[in-house]
Amino acid sequence: MTTKTSEQLARDRHYAIQRIRDSVPLPARVGDLYDGNGRLRTEFMEHGPAERAIQKLHRRAGEAVPNQDALPVGIQQALHLPLIWVQIVSRYPWKVMWVRHDSTGRVRRGELKCTTLGGAIYEWRRIRKLAPNATIVSRARGYHIPPELRGELPPRWYWCPHCMKPRRYQRDPDNRTFTTNKKVWSDTKGRFVWVERKVYILVCPMCHNNSRDPIFRMSNQPWETRRFKQGVRRAKPRQRTRRKRGKS
């Protein structure tokens, strides 16, 4: 008789628990996996069949989108990236937002929540005819700037991680500021350096994402390209930090 190691026992226990979790039957509709607040029900968390059903729903909706080459690069990028956990647990990870002036001239904001990006693209193409500024917004997560747009935005335009497109951000109406590290060009050093600066908070006029967002900060720093000779496997640090010895 062979005795199992504690590692094997732990693995058996893990699989037994997973089998129990997976045995919760799937509802007839994907929407019923979520509760009234649009969050994934706890019995379907870490539930293999439920996760596969959600992934399949999103993949199918994405594949069904016609004319994908005509979509903005940010949307194309999102269509090609896999779902991440915060999107899986949300009933509506997407929405379409728009702003229009009604017949009395008052500003009306509208939004429509969507389950899949494919569905959001369909609604966006429809709504855009009535409200040309209609935009698809990622509610669950922000996206980084696509490589082809890095360093290509005109002055005062910023990449909005949630609208997934370049935007003219506006200064926070209360003129709030925050302190952050900014990458700025140094003439004396001949390279970019990180400097602590107090800056105004900037806000996206459509989705209200603000410039404190880490994905905004990463996407909107000056981008540099480094060229490497063939065969170079590892980037050397750009500058050597020389520590002064003795008294200075």
Residues that bind Zn ion (CB under 5 A): 160, 162-163, 204, 206-207, 209
Nearer CB in complex with Zn ion: 95/162: 162
- Nearest-angstrom CA–CA distance, 115 and 21: 24
Nearer CB in complex with Zn ion: 127/204: 204
Nearer CB in complex with Zn ion: 74/118: 74
Q: State the minimum distance, in angstroms, from the CB of residue 206 to Zn ion.
A: 5
Which residues lie closer than 8 Å to 64 by C-beta, 6 or more apart? 118
Nearer CB in complex with Zn ion: 44/216: 216
SS3 113: strand
Structure tokens at 92: 């509506």
- Nearest-angstrom CA–CA distance, 136 and 139: 9
Distance linking the first and last C-alpha atoms of the chain: 73
Q: State the minimum distance, in angstroms, from the CB of residue 72 to Zn ion.
A: 13
SS3 17: helix
CA dihedral over 73, 128, 119, 95, signed as positive or negative: positive
Burial classification of residue 10, based on how many CB atoms lie within 10 Å of its CB (0-12 exposed, 13-18 middle, 19 or more buried): exposed
Nearer CB in complex with Zn ion: 192/200: 200
Q: State the minimum distance, in angstroms, from the CB of residue 229 to Zn ion.
A: 40
Nearer CB in complex with Zn ion: 40/134: 134
What residues form DSSP beta bridges with 139? none
Q: State the minimum distance, in angstroms, from the CB of residue 221 to Zn ion.
A: 18
Q: State the minimum distance, in angstroms, from the CB of residue 114 to Zn ion.
A: 16
Q: State the minimum distance, in angstroms, from the CB of residue 175 to Zn ion.
A: 20
